Structure 1
Amino acid sequence: MSFARSQPFQHIQPLQPLNSGQLNNRVNNITPVKAARSFKENVPVPTQDPKTKRKKEKLSTLCKTPPSIVRTRTGRDYRRGTFLGEGGFARCFQMKDSSGKIYAAKTVAKASIKNEKTKTKLLSEIKIHKSLKHPNIVNFVDCFEDDVNVYILLEICPNQSLMELLKTRKRVSEPEVRFFMVQIVGAIKYLHSRRVIHRDLKLGNIFFDPKMNLKIGDFGLASVLPAGDARKYTICGTPNYIAPEVLGGKTVGHSFEVDIWAIGIMMYALLIGKPPFQAKDVQVIYERIKKTEYSFPIDKPISPEAKELIQDLLSLNPLNRPTIDEVLQYSWFKGAFPEKTLETSLSNTPQGLNEISKAQSAINFTNTKASSGIYTPKVKNPVEILRSDLHSEQPRTMLPQSLSPGDTKDKYQEVDPTQMGKPTRKVNFNGTYSTTIKRLNQICFETYQNMRRLEYSKHEMLDAMELPSCENPTLISKWVDYSNKYGFSYQLNTDDIGVLFNDDNTILRLHNSDKFLELIYHENEGWTCIENSSSHPPTQARKQLEIVDFFAKYMNSNLSNVSANEDRKETVFLRRYTRTSEYIMFEMTNGTFQFNFKDHHKICISKSGSAITHISPSRMIQTHPLIFILKQGNFPSSEVPDCLEKIAVIKEAIKRKAFKE
């Protein structure tokens, strides 16, 4: 691990968490800018008593000025330059390498790292930022340490931030903001494709590089969302920008939509001159956010198209906000669009913006989307935080070897997205295998978002779209609701028979096999699948197997199949069912949603919302890409009564499940 020092190490003690005091500010509030100034947004904070204030000022002195020459163990030397600014418990300085290239060095005092939680947050920030490479994200250069400080070397952005631009300009023109939004959306799309939520997007964290392109910085609150978890629960962010679901904390949880909300806040602030919920009291801000209580001032007019986009971005329900792919499809982006941002924009509105022709605006819009990565295929290496990234191998150092310079390719084990969310086998105590199943809320959430995306895309040419391959899904062919005593029994069109018992556990007897599967629910661990032999079942499963056999005999004697039988392509369980006056809804472990409507037509949504299947009362079955049916308005072989209305009912039902979970 590399170090920077001004004198030989003497009596260096291992880094230990300090055991007194609390950190009220995070350590990573520094970002690369040009002039010396505070990095905090101009938002109100709760008043503090004098004792708290004195304590805070004392801790800020822990940030020591680096030596004039910072020598690292890798042989790279940096000359300390101008002090750029400070925030929280970090300070920022210019650093120049031997070739004369200038960087911004975020300097964090080790003494300000009070506990393991704070240390983990800093190391997580380094890992996430180091793993990112995008033209609209501040470039991570290096990280090293000495006995006093940790240094994070970043690309320097000499033209300040959107916050400084707005302070100078008071309001920004719509053509300029369109350009800004495309670059911001491109960066956020990249982050989300790598399962990173920024969680602190604001004007003060978005900087201009030497060519006046925008760059997102400050990943101190960023988090990686694991494939098996659709929510985060930490309350964090900047008051004026925080999303309503974040304020809900552990009772609600939040996901990628908090960054979509922040886009709406920034867009409003740039066009109107201040954030929509701003108030003198933080609690008033929070109450306004919870009620989405804001307005568009009459004396600061903006276009109806801009209002429409802002209103959708600031939807109280996160599932009603446009996805990151849908944002740029709004009609507002069809207005005047400049080729680039000029340096004169930092102080004045450029001339002739509204005179840009419609044809030239369309070309500029397309080119900006391309340079911002909008058309780039989805990234195939989501960020993963490894244990080795958070623990030092040597007691006297803080930065792990996995975060050392130039070691990225060998140390980072990226996740293959084709494996993300797939069941993973593990041997349990009785020698059989168990499989961890994806959470219901994640499946509902992803399916609903994909259905929304396809609705927005239905006006595009089908020839230009990549349609999914479709095959008939595994269906529930028969069912009996005996939940007043045992549970819900069902038979699949593979002839596998299962019972979802009242305790939420399931037994599935496989057709033409001696095997049966138990799907067991654990409060803290989720769902686990265990395979057993029918001839030698565990004692606790024998009674339940008898109930399965009872239902099997009843259904085979009294009920008809709703579709023709098929060979088993995969093992599928019923996870949950919902009965209403209009339909019964089945949610399966493979992500299929089956709806049996009261008019005896049945519709399934599968393949994460990209495929749709219809089973007619006469047992005729057809499966097509959902985008095809949305575009045509109905199924081609045999029309479904009120087809689009049924699809809308399905989407709304899945949405309710996603948000309720």
Structure 2
Amino acid sequence: MELLRNISQQPTNSNRMYEPNQPGSCELRRKRTEDHGHAPAEMSKIITDPATGKCYCRGKVLGKGGFAKCYEMTDLSTSKVYAAKIIPHTRVSKPHQREKIDREIELHRVLHHKHIVHFYHHFEDKDNIYILLEYCSRRSLAHILKARKVLTEPEVRYYLRQIVSGLKYLHEQEILHRDLKLGNFFVSETMELKVGDFGLAAKLEPAGNRRKTICGTPNYLSPEVLNKQGHGCESDVWALGCVMYTMLLGRPPFETTNLKETYRCIREARYSLPSSLSPQAKQLISSLLAKTPEDRPHLDHILRHDFFSQGFVPERLPASCCHSAPEFHVSSPAKSFFKKAAAALFGGKRDKVKYYETLNKLTKEEEEIYKLRHDLKKTVISQQQQNKQMTEVRKGLPPTTRDTIRLIVRGSLGSCSSSSECLEDSTTGSVAETITSVLRGCLENMPKGEPNCSNLQWVTKWVDYSNKYGFGYQLSDHIVGVLFNNGTHMSLLADKKTVHYYAELGQCSVFSTSDVPEHFVGQVTVLKYFAHYMEENLMDGGDLVSQPDTHMPRLYLLQWLKSDRALMMLFNDGTFQVNFYHDHTKIILCTQREEYMLTYINEERVSSTFRLSSLLTSGCPADLRQRMEYSLNMLLQRLEP
């Protein structure tokens, strides 16, 4: 809401503006004249709704806008506090001014969403119009940023996730906000963000019928709005990019000392991305601030970006974040032990003695785990050195797949479990060789052309924390697995009560989360943490679901590999999955009833499943074929001697 921001606290050039000779410019000139003239009559402290007889007590000023002021206002019968937007009739005496207020009321009153400032009631008396809105005691993000200067990336993820949620709701109602900025994002007592100020909001019109009025806040205007092409959903997305940039760096991306230069920078989409930003943050900002509207991501795609999927998103922020940077810790009743155990099991040195003193003595299994971790470390380093030397792929593949792929190879489990669905000789190498042979055979014999679903198990969420502990993932049947840096694997079944532990494939230990062997406490703590993190912070990757399996999990990770473009995962039963970062598409190849099935999940997270035998006769779309070729390329690099 326009009046909840304090104009004097906004950055340079950040006040809402209207282009000269457009509707609205006279209001700002008139306001300045009135402000320098005689003061209006003092408003009463007690305000009565003529229609209901309810009495309200007017409190302190919360903010000012072009037409109005916003006050705290308390219902004297219930003690409920509102943010009241109070507009003098003298400020909206002309028909088009009154129409603007009526339009704002009509748009806002029907909105009901947890991340939209709630509209409660409106009334008027002989002097003023009163709009009663949800009271946000932490004020706005503009106030928070003024105190903090910059925000941390986890905080920005937290706020952006809520802004996108509210904005998506608005766009679904075919409403454009048209003035997204820090001063219009309000923060409740519980640190929940609410999108407000619908003074410039408008119904979405077809491209040809859009009003060409240049309205909004100078630093947040999009190129198409400046060029009088009208305001669409993409213009709100552009403003979102400006908001993200401002939160991370403390200044808008196009701010200059000269308004004409600011507009020139906006039209050219010319701004700087400091090295202090993470690569994921830079990538997301660049996509949001794409010069061409069609090149900006849809709201549905924003939260699937690596900036969110590969970074910590807090569930809640403490109120102290309003004035000081937060400290994020792992929330666990066994936090102190967790740190010692994790450090000892996964690479720490100084805490190792303390950990084993806690356990009193080393068991044989602990010795084996330690040796395995040590051996794995040498193996991974050796594999990485080999992969760095690879500069081209095998001959015979199409030119589109000849990009240099730098693989990071992780995982060491190497033989099959007792599951009847496993391959006969399911070492990591044999799984990769089998999949390579099948995939290459399909591609070499498949015609070009355009060509449905089993209870498929696949990875819906994943998190790479291998710099400390390992690689975590969640399957479509809600089993959570972790392939630890020491080469061991744990699965937490869908019942959240049963753990399966593999020191080696074919050697499975089963125990309850309520009765964890002492020497597994550290790893189980990590497993639970991964499960909680993915459940709370990551979105599912597609529309396929599987029935939860509370018995022996048939699928667990043997090895994962990363390139610049994709993540590849190999599983014990021969399932092979590749996730592509840039568009979040996925390929899953698996055997079902002794037949190979290939599932493709597209950018819209919609899945299609094909028999490999049918692809050999019918062919497949070009985008799928391209991804199959890249996946084969990754496998070939994995097998390169």
Query: Please, what TM-score do these two structures have when normalized by structure 2?
Result: 0.52
Report the CA distance shift for 1:640/1:461 in structure 2 as closer, same or farther (over 3 A). Answer: closer
Aligned to 1:459: 586
CA contact (8 A) 1:175 1:353 kept: no
Name the SS for the 2:131 alignment partner. Answer: strand
Cα distance in 2, alignment partners of residues 214 and 91 from structure 1: 21
Aligned match of 1:317 in 255, 278, 292?
A: 292
User: Is 1:148 the equivalent of 2:127?
Assistant: yes
Tell me the amino acid that sits aligned with residue 41 of structure 1.
Q
Q: 2:247 pairs with 251, 270, 281, which one? A: 270
1:284 is matched with 261
Matching residue of 2:114: 135
2:138 matched residue in structure 1 = 159
Distance 1:462 1:63, change over 3 A: farther
Secondary structure of the equivalent of 2:215? coil
**Does the CA-based 8 Å contact 2:49-2:124 persist in structure 1?**
no
Q: In the superposition, relative to structure 1, how do residues 127 and 40 fare at CA in structure 2: closer, same or farther (>3 Å)?
A: farther
How many angstroms does 1:639 deviate by? 2.9
> Once the 2 structures are TM-superposed, how far is the Cα of residue 124 of structure 1 from its aligned partner?
1.0
Q: Answer whether contact 1:182 1:368 (CA < 8 A) is retained.
A: no
Residue number in structure 1 paired with 2:177: 198
C-alpha contact 2:254 2:271 (8 A) present in aligned 1 = yes
Per-residue CA deviation, residues 426-460 of structure 1 (Å, 9 max, x unaligned), is xxxxxxxxxxxxxxxxxxxxxxxxxxx99945328
Contact 1:183 1:369 in 2 (8 A): no
Distance 2:322 2:32 in 1: 36
SS of residue paired to 2:133: strand
Q: Do the aligned partners of residues 194 and 642 (structure 1) sit closer, same or farther apart at CA in structure 2, a change above 3 Å counting?
A: closer
Please, which of 24, 29, 51 is the counterpart of residue 73 of structure 1? 51
Runs of at least 5 residues in structure 2 that lack an aligned partner in the other structure: 333-338, 340-464, 466-525, 543-579, 591-602, 628-641
Q: Using the TM superposition, give the Cα deviation of residue 134 of structure 1 relative to its aligned residue in structure 2, in angstroms.
A: 0.7
1:82 to 50, 60, 68: 60
Q: Structure 1 CA distance, aligned partners of 2:50 and 2:144?
A: 36
What is the one-letter code of the residue matched to 2:311? Answer: G
Relative to structure 1, the CA distance from residue 254 to residue 83 in structure 2 (aligned partners, 3 Å threshold; closer, same or farther) is closer
Q: 1:74: how far off? A: 1.8
Matched AA of 2:168:
K
After TM superposition, the structure 1 = structure 2 runs for residues 115-514 of structure 1, keeping only pairs within 5 Å, are 115-226=94-205, 231-249=210-228, 252-298=229-275, 301-333=276-308, 334-352=310-328, 360=529, 363=532, 367=536, 456=583, 458-459=585-586
**Structure 1 residues not aligned, in runs of 5+:** 1-27, 376-452, 464-608, 611-624, 648-661
Task: Kindly provide the amino acid, as one letter, of the partner of residue 459 in structure 1.
Answer: K
* Bigger fraction of residues in helix: 2
For the Cα contact (< 8 Å) 2:45–2:59, is it kept in 1? Answer: no
Structure 1 residue 638: deviation in Å?
A: 2.8
Q: Structure 1 counterpart of 2:262, which letter?
A: I
Change (3 A) 1:366 1:640: closer
Question: What does residue range 487-566 of structure 1 map to in structure 2 within 5 Å?
Answer: none
Say whether the 8 Å CA contact 2:31–2:66 is kept in structure 1. no
- Is the CA contact 2:124–2:130 (under 8 Å) kept in the aligned structure 1? yes
Superposed displacement of residue 248, structure 1: 1.2
Note if contact 1:212-1:341 (Cα within 8 Å) is conserved in structure 2: yes
The DSSP-based 3-state class of the residue aligned with 2:70 is: strand
**Does the 8 Å CA contact 2:11/2:251 hold for their aligned counterparts?**
no
Q: Mark the CA change 1:183 to 1:642 in structure 2 (over 3 Å): closer, same or farther.
A: closer
Report the Cα distance in structure 2 between the residues aligned to 1:187 and 1:223, rounded to whole angstroms: 16
RMSD of aligned alpha carbons: 4.2
Kindly state the Cα deviation for residue 160 of structure 1 after the two structures are TM-superposed. Answer: 1.3
Per the alignment, do residues 331 and 457 of structure 1 end up closer, same or farther by CA in structure 2, a change over 3 Å counting?
Answer: closer
What percent identity do the matched residue pairs reach?
Answer: 36
Task: Provide the C-alpha distance between the structure 2 equivalents of 1:76 and 1:368, rounded to a whole number of angstroms.
Answer: 44
Conserved in 2, the CA contact under 8 Å of 1:39 and 1:86?
no
Aligned residue pairs total 374
Return the offset for 1:106.
0.3
SS in 2 for 1:93: strand
Partner of 1:639: 619
SS of the equivalent of 1:80 reads strand
Residue identity in the other structure for 2:307: W
The verdict on how the C-alpha distance between 1:173 and 1:640 changes in structure 2, with shifts beyond 3 A counting, is closer
The counterpart of 1:55, out of the listed 17, 33, 54, is 33
| Distance in 2 (alpha carbons) for counterparts of 1:108 and 1:311 | 40
CA distance in 1, matches of 2:608, 2:93: 57
Q: Is the 8 A contact 1:197 1:256 kept in 2?
A: yes
2:250 counterpart letter in structure 1: G
Q: Distance in 1 between matches of 2:324 and 2:316?
A: 15
Indicate if the aligned counterparts of 1:103 and 1:153 stay in contact, CA closer than 8 A.
yes
| Structure-1 residue corresponding to 2:474 | none
Partners of 1:162 and 1:168 lie apart in 2 by: 10
Rounded to whole Å, the distance in 1 between the matches of 2:101 and 2:108 is 11
Q: Is the 8 A contact 1:312 1:322 kept in 2?
A: yes
Aligned-partner SS, 2:216: coil
Query: CA separation in 1, counterparts of 2:204 and 2:611?
Result: 33
Map of 1:43 onto structure 2: 12
Q: In structure 1, what is the Cα distance between the partners aligned to 2:225 and 2:195?
A: 21
Relative to structure 1, the CA distance from residue 241 to residue 64 in structure 2 (aligned partners, 3 Å threshold; closer, same or farther) is: farther
Corresponding residue SS for 1:30: helix
Contact 2:219 2:255 in 1 (8 A): yes
- 1:109–1:148: 8 Å Cα contact kept in structure 2? yes
Q: What displacement does 1:229 show?
A: 6.5
| 1:353 Cα offset (Å) | 5.5
- Give deviations 1:624-643, integer Å, cap 9, x for gaps: x99649999x9775337957
SS at match of 2:101: helix
